[in-house]
Amino acid sequence: MQRVLILGAGGHAQQVADVLLCAHEGDSDILPVGYLDDNPALQGQHFLELPVLGRLNDRLNIAHDAIIVGIGNNRIRQSLFEQARRDGECFAIACHPSAVIARDVVIGGGTLIAAHVVISPGTVIGENVILNSAATVGHHSHIGSHVHLGPGVHTGGEVRVGDGGFVGIGGIIMPQRRVGNESIVGAGTLVHDDVPDGAVVVGVPGRILKRTGER
């Protein structure tokens, strides 16, 4: 049995917990044991029958085999992931039983694969990624580390999303397009052209609203 601590206890962390519990009910050997969160108001509370066991730094004193960061914000999630890696932590993968994943897909540690996600053949998913509910990833795509694909996002085949990228609810990325590192694609946006690093893109078709360094 792999005992998993969830870093965070907010809404996204509870989604992670539910996915882990559903996987456990489906005979996965991964079992969530509780949450860690720095919010004093959450200490001692229970969500989905799992306790908030303490603050984030308490993980070093609580028995566990692996962790997963249950925070939606990419930069905060990346920071906590990298600190935990420096401390020698192992990272669980939370995969909902309803997900459809091709047999040759590679998935990095600390990743959440939510309900009804579809990942097509030849795809690589980085570390500490969120593939939210009903997202689909086309064949031979590469999703970088610390990425968040929101609910109902669809990518065509051979798409690349750079590290730290975010695609909002219902976003669509056309085949063979690249979304740069730490770029933001707004909800409902259709990405028809490549997106440079650090850009904000919105609309149908997508247009660049802001580039790196602009306010």
- Cα gap 183→77, rounded to integer Å: 16
Q: Which residues pair with 124 in a beta bridge?
A: 106, 142
- Cα gap 13→80, rounded to integer Å: 13
| Residues 25-53 pLDDT 10s | 987 789 999 999 999 999 999 999 999 99
CB 77 within 8 A of CB 128: yes
Where residue 214 falls among pLDDT bands split at 50, 70, 90?
A: low
What distance lies between CA 56 and its chain's CA centroid?
19
Tell me the pTM: 0.94
Task: With a cut of 80, say whether residue 94 has pLDDT above it.
Answer: yes
| Residues 72-88 pLDDT 10s | 999 999 999 999 999 99
Query: pLDDT at position 210, please?
Result: 81
Half-sphere exposure of 33 (CA within 13 A, CB side): 16
> Could you tell me the domains of the chain?
2-91 (3.40.50.20), 95-201 (2.160.10.10)
